[in-house]
Amino acid sequence: MEAFSFRAVRTVSEALEVIREHPPNEVALMGGGTDLLIRERQKLVSFRVLLFLRSIPELSKIRLEMERGLTIGAAATLDEVANHFEIRRRYPMLSQAARSVASPQIRHKATIGGNLCLASRCWFYNRSPFWRAEYPRCRKASGGDQCYIVPKSRKGCFALQSGDTVGPLVALQAKVKLVSERGERLLDIENFFLGDGIEYLDLKPDEILTEVILPWPLTAGVFVKFRPQNNLDFATFTLSVIPPRNGSGSRIVVGSVANRPLRARKAETLLDQREVGVDVIAQQAAEELPLISFVRGSVEFKRRAIKAKLEEVLKDFVSSPSREN
Amino acid sequence: MSTILKFWVNDDPIELLVRDDETLLDVLRNRMLLTGTKRGCGEGQCGHCTVILNGKSVNSCLTLALEAQGGHVLTIEGLSEGERLHPIQQAYVEAGAVQCGYCAPGMILSIYSLLQENPCPNEEEIKEGIKGVICRCTGYYKVIEAVKRVSGGG
Amino acid sequence: MAKMEAMSDYRVVGRPLPQIDARERALGAAQFVSDLKLPRMLFGRILRSPYPHARILRIDTSKAKALVGVKAVITAEDTPQIPFGPRSEDWTILARDKVRFVGDEVAAVAAVDEETAEEALELIQVEYEELPAVFDPVEAMRPEAPLIHDKPQNIVSEFHLTRGDVEEAFKESDFVHSASYFTSQVYQAYLEPMACVTDIDHSGKLTFYLATQIPSMTRVTYAKALNMPLEKIRVIVPYYGGAFGAKMETNLHLIAAVLSQKTGRPVRMVNPRQEDFMAGNPRVPMYIDLKIGVKKDGTLMAKEVNVIGAAGGRAVYSMVIVATACYRVDSLYRFKNLKTKGLTVYTNTVPTSCFRGFGNAQMTFALESSMDMIAEAIGMDPAELRIRNGLRTGDVSIHGWKIGSSGLAECIEKATEASHWKEKRAEKRYARGIGLACCNHVSGNRAFAREFDGGAGLVRVGREGKVLVYHGESDMGQGQKTVFAQIVAEELGIPLDWVEVAWVDTDVSPFGMGSFATRGTLFGGNGVKAAAAEARRQILELAADMLEANPVDLEIKEGTIFVKGAPEKNLPFKRVAEEGLYRRGGAPIVGTGFWVPDTVLPDPVTKYGNISPAYPFACHIAEVEVDTETGQVNLLNYVAAHDVGRAINPQTTEGQIHGGVAQGIGWALMENMVTEKGRILNPNFRDYVVPGPLDLPPIKSILVEPIDPNGPFGAKGIGEPALNPVPAAVANAIYHAIGVRITELPITPEKILKALKAKKR
């Protein structure tokens, strides 16, 4: 089997040229490669050309424009995002989320773009070919007609959104910039996730995610990563919460529990209105989310833990009035 | 597809023809016989393959050799000067942090990276800093003590 | 952490010292098995069964053989078809006719590089006929269960033991307690996956470079498996990355050997981590039923035990582990009447085997949880209940085990003091609790060793006074070499850095039983101590002649030999060594020595007989806080008090305690091999989570030294006792905190929440 070739380019237009030179799906984009290389070895993905984006200086830049917002180059590493002075100061929940990923070794290489686009994960999918051969009918792994996580489902894939920075970016109402030879697109990040474990992102084969754009922050939020153990484990869930400002704009985003980041919209409305207690809001959020039972916890357990953690967060907001910039 | 890789490993300029899909770990261990860097899992979970690439600790099993093009790689072999242990290695040995020693190279380089970024870490920061390396023998206690010794903290 | 103090008046023994080879390891210079490279070496990989139970209909290796770079492809046909096994005879080097677990070895490849070997595996075509499979040992005993090895009810072995009359004793008891437990199958997670290098010479002699805890016993098993005379097999033990019990005999070694035989070249074979999860030898999972009768003053009257353990697809040491689970704890307390039954059952799962604690760990979880419940029922302090019943120095247990020294009471005393036990038990803080658990263990096991038990050593004093020590045990990182060097240096009166310990090489080293049953320090230590004493005798004889003195009047201190009372009459040790060489035609001084314990093989029926020369004890206390909303357990503090006889090296001893407690915590709270139809769903470190630095509590370790009459300088062992009490200490602390009792490992947040909910109703 022929191995892939490694192309380190210096500009985005060079990158687009490489894409143009090859048939679709033969070119894979690499930020840190910390997930892509594993999936390549597990034969979940194959490509002829590995297009290295970290060699494009403009793609790693982080730029703050006063009163306008923050632009983060998609190839900035999680370490850079976590430690950037302005991100720590003005978007602390994003800094926190970036810092919570894996280990220093991973964060020194993995990029924000990669984390945002992190391929949906599942215990039955992210395995070696030998192991997967025993689950032949998985929709995602072998184009079959069954899901082993939700056996009763007739269609769709429930592999999980797993990038920890996704929740905060949704809560912060980020946009993503997608560039191709056909032009540029600016998407609200919520619309970037299509709600299926297979047709996962609104990212065309010839597109490159170049920037993550955050509006000027009005309220600092809170990020919580819940995992039974503190070590490298992927989260059971993440919470990204932004309190309301003048009765609107609150966000309660739960990540890593579904094939897309979930917003607890009814709970957000309750939070905006501030008419009921935090325990009611937390309970509403926990109940309205479509959760799946799996190894990391039954639905009941997840609901309980989400409610408990969210209540803690909301109590803090109530006791210290909303932190404004 | 193969490409000529020119980079520095410790104090030596190296030029090698590598396959594009070859990992830095394989180049170090199999081609250069620098076996101090270990393979523990191949998935970036155990940290035993940690090296310092251009000043930052990385899992060499998840790093393509070509990512080091024109750059510098520090392996455990490069930390000591001949027979003289680096202060981190010295503290590591004295604190009793070595048992089977399989994670020692990865752990010591993680500590090196941590202290570059934070010369005086508190206990929590030490734990966060070393969490990328799995140790099964020591419970990490004496590793943490070693870091405290060498950083003058704790 | 304060710098450790020396714990004895000896010069070297009792001093906290880094391992003598710590430098090599910290430099990255130590050559581990998976680092070794020999000229013309090939790389091996194994093709494993994807089915838990299936008939092999056809194997076609032709395409694999044709791949450029492949030098050999083997199946069962290419191996001697001799059934063998470390204890049972149900192993074959490669599967014949049937596969019995996911991961079973079916074929293997040797190629010029790892990638080619992996590619070749994909080209081997195997046709299977799936068979019904069974995954639980209780299910496997049912009449309708498929037979895995043609043994009735899939039972590998049975263990029965009776003492006294339990029925009568239950009647006389004031309180009868019963409970059922389940201890999970967990992975040792040693850092270097299973690995070996095999080499073959022109005469067909095989050299195995093995990560093995039992170099000499391995050789015996492998000679049988390969149908070769013992002299044609040599085992060398390089540095290796941990074992914790797992690295005993394994097919991986034999498969590499056959590949070497077929190709005439060295072969290196290393398990990719996923395969190591799937086809390693994890802990024997057990169902344990306990019934204990006690008087209201705390006197233990009777114990009835039922154990069912899963062996997996073939028996490694599981039946010995189940037997150990059945009766080792009987020598922790003063038991009077016993009725015990243990069953080891085949299942279509990965073969289970030794993991730190060896069955005693599993049973200790059950017993110590039960003792906690009993203490509550009779209104007694749990510490007090242990002290009342604990065996003391001079006692002989119900199975005839002679407790030459027991520091159990002192361990309990010191642990309760250090943890502020009394105050914390009394104060009822919401969701905070403190729990205690004790354990006993052995330092050697005559029943395991069979033909003989003992330790031996060879001490070579070179011309420059440099000493090289040979032993037959195995240093897996626990610091054994260092302890041996300290013992020899102490015995010879020379500085520690004059002593080196050689790699175990069965061509030269004594036959050592190996490192298991926490026997290394005691047996190996006594062996090298005897050898050093003999070398010392020879040195002093020479020195006496050179000094014109009487050997009995001579002493050696810090490398100088001098006449007692007239220290001006002295000679450097090195000078004497050199002179010895000159006078004896170039022969270095070599002392061989051995030590044989006063132990017996237990009676096969009654199981009576003293099996170990010494018994270590311990007491652990855990303090926890439980989040009653999420079920998460936060470990606040941990105290581990250990009776080690004497700590030859307090630093390495403490290191062992730290590691054992960490592993115990992983087992108790975090680690779980999730399986479905015999398949491990989480065969990697991402999804099988071992403790990291943020998961572990502050720990205080206390060393208690009753000085055992049989140990070298009074030392016993530490390895396994360091883990045994942990899960029960944690479970007992959780009970004290929130009043729920979890009897199944691991104790997960979900189980805690379920139990809390049930309690409310």
Report the CATH number that the domain containing residue C23 is assigned in CATH: 3.30.365.10
Q: Residue B55 belongs to a domain with what CATH number?
A: 3.10.20.30
Sequence-distant (6+) residues with CB within 8 A of C276 are C193, C194
B92 lies in the same domain as B127: yes
Gyration radius (Cα) of chain A, Å: 20
B129 interaction partners in chain A (CB closer than 8 Å) = 104
Q: What is the pLDDT of residue C1?
A: 46
- B116 close to A (CB below 8 A): no
Cα separation, C14 vs C651, in Å, equals 9
Instruction: Flag if B21 and A105 touch (Cβ within 8 Å).
Output: no
Q: Would C166 be classed as within a structural domain?
A: no
C715 lies in the same domain as C753: yes
Query: With the CA atoms of C315, C357, B106 and B64 taken in that order, what torsion angle do they form, in degrees rounded to the nearest 10?
Result: 30
Query: Mutual orientation of helices B104-117 and B123-130 as an angle, nearest 10°?
Result: 130
C322 lies in the same domain as C439: yes
- A128 close to B (CB below 8 A): no
Please check whether residue C649 is in contact with residue C478, taking contact to mean a CB–CB distance below 8 angstroms: no
Chains A and C form CB pairs within 8 A to the count of: 69
C293 lies in the same domain as C435: yes
B95 lies in the same domain as B71: no
Based on the number of CB atoms within 10 Å of its own CB, is C601 exposed (0-12), middle (13-18) or buried (19 or more)? Answer: middle
DSSP, residue by residue, C86-142: SSSS-B-SS--SEE-STT-EEEEEEESSHHHHHHHHHH-EEEEEE-----SHHHHTS
Please check whether residue A292 is in contact with residue A150, taking contact to mean a CB–CB distance below 8 angstroms: yes
DSSP, residue by residue, C599-629: --PPPTTT--S---S---EEEEEEEEEE-TT
B67 lies in the same domain as B109: no
Architecture label for domain A222-319: 2-Layer Sandwich (3.30)
C479 CA: distance to closest CA in chain B (Å): 7
Instruction: Flag if B135 and C27 touch (Cβ within 8 Å).
Output: no
Q: Residue C234 belongs to a domain with what CATH number?
A: 3.90.1170.50
**Kind of pairing between the strands at C337-346 and C300-312:** parallel
C353 lies in the same domain as C401: yes
A37 interaction partners in chain B (CB closer than 8 Å) = 23, 62, 64
C407 lies in the same domain as C487: no
* Span between the terminal Cα atoms of chain A, in Å: 55
B22 pLDDT above the threshold of 50:
yes
Cα separation, A302 vs A226, in Å, equals 10
- A183 close to C (CB below 8 A): no
Geometric angle at alpha carbon C464, from C461 and C465, rounded to 5°: 40
* C426-450 confidence digits (pLDDT tens): 998 999 999 999 999 999 999 887 7
Please check whether residue C198 is in contact with residue C256, taking contact to mean a CB–CB distance below 8 angstroms: yes
Instruction: Flag if B102 and C658 touch (Cβ within 8 Å).
Output: no
Structure tokens at C166: 């339990």
Cα separation, B122 vs C478, in Å, equals 28
Cα separation, C615 vs C602, in Å, equals 16
Cα separation, C465 vs C576, in Å, equals 8
Strand partners, B46: none
- B59 close to A (CB below 8 A): yes
B67 lies in the same domain as B102: no
B73 lies in the same domain as B99: no
Peptide bond into A104 cis (omega under 30): no
Q: Indicate whether this complex's ipTM tops 0.90.
A: yes
B51 lies in the same domain as B113: no
Strand partners, C471: C457
Cα separation, C285 vs C308, in Å, equals 8
Q: Would C151 be classed as within a structural domain?
A: no
Domains in chain C: how many in total?
3
Q: What is the pLDDT of residue A324?
A: 41
Sequence-distant (6+) residues with CB within 8 A of C660 are C356, C640, C718, C719, C720, C721, C722, C723, C726
Residue C313: how many CA atoms within 13 Å on its side-chain side?
A: 26
End of a domain among C595, C626, C649?
Answer: C595
Q: Would C182 be classed as within a structural domain?
A: no
Q: What is the pLDDT of residue A234?
A: 63
End of a domain among C595, C622, C646?
Answer: C595
Average pLDDT, stretch C477-502?
97
C474 lies in the same domain as C428: no
Provide the domain limits for residue B112: 87-151
Provide the domain limits for residue C72: 33-131+193-240+247-279
Q: Would C379 be classed as within a structural domain?
A: yes
Q: What is the pLDDT of residue A323?
A: 45
Domains in chain B: how many in total?
2
Instruction: Flag if B58 and A231 touch (Cβ within 8 Å).
Output: no
Structure tokens at C170: 């239950």
Residues of chain C above pLDDT 70, percent:
100
Instruction: Flag if A105 and B50 touch (Cβ within 8 Å).
Output: yes
Residue C538: CB atoms within 10 Å: 19
End of a domain among C544, C568, C595?
Answer: C595
DSSP A143: S
* C685-700 confidence digits (pLDDT tens): 988 999 999 999 999 9
C164 pLDDT above the threshold of 50:
yes
Average pLDDT, stretch C652-657?
98
* B132-147 confidence digits (pLDDT tens): 999 999 999 999 999 9
B23 lies in the same domain as B6: yes
| Best A41, A103, A126 residue to mutate vs chain B (most B CBs within 10 Å) | A103
C695 interaction partners in chain A (CB closer than 8 Å) = 229-231
C88 lies in the same domain as C225: yes
DSSP, residue by residue, B57-83: EEEGGGSBGGGGTT-EEE-GGGTSBTT
B74 lies in the same domain as B7: yes
Based on the number of CB atoms within 10 Å of its own CB, is B58 exposed (0-12), middle (13-18) or buried (19 or more)? Answer: buried
Confidence of residue C387 (pLDDT cuts 50, 70, 90): very high
Cα separation, C110 vs C102, in Å, equals 22
Q: What is the pLDDT of residue A229?
A: 57
B121 lies in the same domain as B71: no
Please check whether residue C471 is in contact with residue C512, taking contact to mean a CB–CB distance below 8 angstroms: yes
Please check whether residue C85 is in contact with residue C314, taking contact to mean a CB–CB distance below 8 angstroms: yes
Query: Mutual orientation of helices C408-418 and C382-389 as an angle, nearest 10°?
Result: 160
The parts of chain A modelled with pLDDT lower than 70 are 1, 229-235, 295-296, 319-325
Average pLDDT, stretch C132-138?
98
Report the mean per-residue pLDDT for chain C: 96
C4 pLDDT above the threshold of 90:
no
C608 pLDDT above the threshold of 60:
yes
End of a domain among B78, B97, B124?
Answer: B78
* C183-241 confidence digits (pLDDT tens): 999 999 999 999 999 999 999 999 999 999 999 999 999 999 999 999 999 999 999 99
End of a domain among B78, B112, B131?
Answer: B78
Based on the number of CB atoms within 10 Å of its own CB, is A206 exposed (0-12), middle (13-18) or buried (19 or more)? Answer: middle
Confidence of residue B82 (pLDDT cuts 50, 70, 90): confident
**Kind of pairing between the strands at C679-680 and A262-263:** unpaired
Sequence-distant (6+) residues with CB within 8 A of C349 are C52, C101, C102, C135, C185, C310, C312, C313, C675, C678
Q: Which chains touch B (3 or more CB pairs under 8 A)?
A: A, C
C305 lies in the same domain as C363: yes
The residue type at C78: D
- A232 close to C (CB below 8 A): yes
Cα separation, C268 vs C262, in Å, equals 14
Return the residue of C nearest to B41 by Cα. Answer: C273
Cα separation, C136 vs B107, in Å, equals 39
* Span between the terminal Cα atoms of chain B, in Å: 50
Q: What is the pLDDT of residue C203?
A: 96
Gyration radius (Cα) of chain C, Å: 27
| Best B38, B85, B98, B103 residue to mutate vs chain C (most C CBs within 10 Å) | B98
Q: Would C686 be classed as within a structural domain?
A: yes
Residue A112: CB atoms within 10 Å: 31
Return the residue of C nearest to A303 by Cα. Answer: C630
* A27-51 confidence digits (pLDDT tens): 999 999 999 999 999 999 999 999 9
Geometric angle at alpha carbon A254, from A248 and A260, rounded to 5°: 110
Residue A271 parent element (H or E): helix A265-273
C56 lies in the same domain as C83: yes
pTM, entire model: 0.96
β strands within C240-336, DSSP E: 267-270, 286-294, 300-312
Q: Which chains touch C (3 or more CB pairs under 8 A)?
A: A, B
**Segments in A59-138 forming alpha helices (H):** 78-83, 85-90, 92-99, 104-107, 112-116, 129-132
Sequence-distant (6+) residues with CB within 8 A of C567 are none
Return the residue of A nearest to C695 by Cα. Answer: A230
| Best A230, A293, A302, A306 residue to mutate vs chain C (most C CBs within 10 Å) | A230
C612 lies in the same domain as C748: yes
End of a domain among B28, B43, B78?
Answer: B78
